[in-house]
Amino acid sequence: MAASAGLSGESDPSTTADAVYALVAAGIPVESVTAEGKSPLDFLLTQVESYGSTVGGAAKLALAAMAAGVDPRQFGGVDLIARIQAAYDEQTGLYDPQLFTNAYALMAVAIATFDREPHVPPAAIEAVLSRQTPDGSWAWDGSTDPGAGDSNTTAIIIQALIAAGLPRDHQAIVAGLDYLRSTQAVDGSFAYQPGTEPLVGDANSTALAVQAILAAGDDPNSSNWHYALDALTRFQNPSGALRWRDDAPDDNLLATLQAIPALAWRVLPVLYSDVPPLGWAQPDELAGDPERCAYEPVTRHNTCDAFRSFWESHGGLANFGYPLTRPYYDPALNLAVQYFERARFELHREADGSSLVLLGRLGAERAAGREVEPPFRPADPIERADCRYFPETGHNLCAGFRAHWEAFGGLPVFGYPISEEFTEDGTVVQYFERARFEWHPGVWPERYDVLLSRLGAEVVEAR
């Protein structure tokens, strides 16, 4: 590390940003790696006006900030996201004409704006899709000529599109993965482009391909992908560093940095929320913009934008409890989420780019594996005036639990019943897809003496 805390012999912000991604992916606190008391993030803060003046530089700095858990909208006194958004060309739909650089910008905007409006314009996604070549690849310069595409640009665009909300099974993602297969050598590594025989893979191309496969929800170390992760590890030298290719055997810093997230099973963008995700449980010391956010001093967290609207219009404190985390991107769900005492809010995107808040299936997740237990087995309808039978799940909903379900949210909030009413740990309960009802006689008559279990809090506390 250079004395300025930049990574490489002479401090280089692009390489240092890659180092931040690698450190976070490996679970190493960025601030713990220093030279003369300065961390890589300290160095990047000095590069905002120079390196950060370009779209690519601003995007890599923003991604490094978010990887380290720092707000990219207040990085060195600069709103990096606004800087990237200002570069958006409505005529082309691109943040930068070079698609590799544009992918970094797309990721930065997508992740930084997941819980607010405006977010990634649908036209920005369509612009990238329209530049996919017939063989499923993308070229760094946007060319759609046959043979122009390469594995590196294709792999990073796959990750960017998925981060921006494109479904993993979208035909463009599938075609991109098929192209990556055409660049895979017999030893499982990936080459920059197909067409030469024999194909010779390199560490950088292999790492990016592994991350694209992971982002698409597949296992890169399966026989289906010829054990690509094992192939990546074979580039490691005795020193621990990776070489670029077998015919270039020296230790290579960039190859090493770009391989570490892939070896750690992390995709781009690498996020502070990944390792561990509940870093977002750290309190917000300041209230957010009151026009957008509601600040809860009890737990010191903000609920903003679409999540705030849903919280206020679907039962508020009684149904969901207090917020327990900040909004954060959950890579396992490929969604922005926020945990509350009794719920997990999930931000989905409609085809037109609009926001849709749905509740996580915490009740179903808590009851997983209990399907063979008597209360969870499908039941016969109960012929009683105060009961309602749900053929969708084969369960009854009766008396106070039915009254509460119908009065305070119904199907959109609680989901279908997935058990019968039964006694658990001395309390009468019933499980629903998104909740667990508890009956406490005399505690809250206005709500039929029904309280909701703190399923969200259980998840947060377990982590």
With residues binned 3-state (H G I as helix, E B as strand, rest as coil), the percentages for the chain, rounded to 5, are 40, 15, 45
Phi, psi at 352, each rounded to 5°:
-85, 5
Whole-number percent of the chain with pLDDT over 70: 90
Q: How far is CA 282 from CA 35, 64, 114, in A?
A: 27, 19, 19
Model confidence pLDDT, tens digit, residues 404-419: 999 998 998 999 999 9
Cis omega (within 30 of 0) for bond into 198:
yes
The two tokens of residue 23 are: 């450190």
Neighbours of 179 (CB within 10 A): 23
What angle do helix axes 99-112 and 122-129 make, rounded to 10 degrees? 150
With 60 as the cut, is the pLDDT of residue 278 above it?
A: no
Identify which has the larger pLDDT, 351 or 54. 54
Model confidence pLDDT, tens digit, residues 367-383: 999 999 999 999 999 99
Residue 271's pLDDT is 77
Identify which has the larger pLDDT, 276 or 439. 439
Residue 68's pLDDT is 86
Q: Which of 32, 31, 124, 44 is nearest to 80 (CA)?
A: 44
With 80 as the cut, is the pLDDT of residue 293 above it?
A: yes
Report all structural domains of the chain as residue ranges with CATH numbers, in order of start. Answer: 13-274 (1.50.10.20), 278-344 (no CATH), 365-462 (no CATH)
Residue 274's pLDDT is 53
Residue 279's pLDDT is 47
Least-confidence region, from 71-80, 143-152, 186-195:
71-80
With 90 as the cut, is the pLDDT of residue 26 above it?
A: no
Distance CA 51, CA 463 (A): 37
Helix intervals (H) in 12-150: 13-25, 40-45, 55-67, 80-86, 99-112, 122-129
Model confidence pLDDT, tens digit, residues 30-61: 877 888 888 899 999 999 999 999 999 999 99
Distance CA 271, CA 365 (A): 24
pLDDT-based confidence at residue 115 (cuts at 50, 70, 90): low
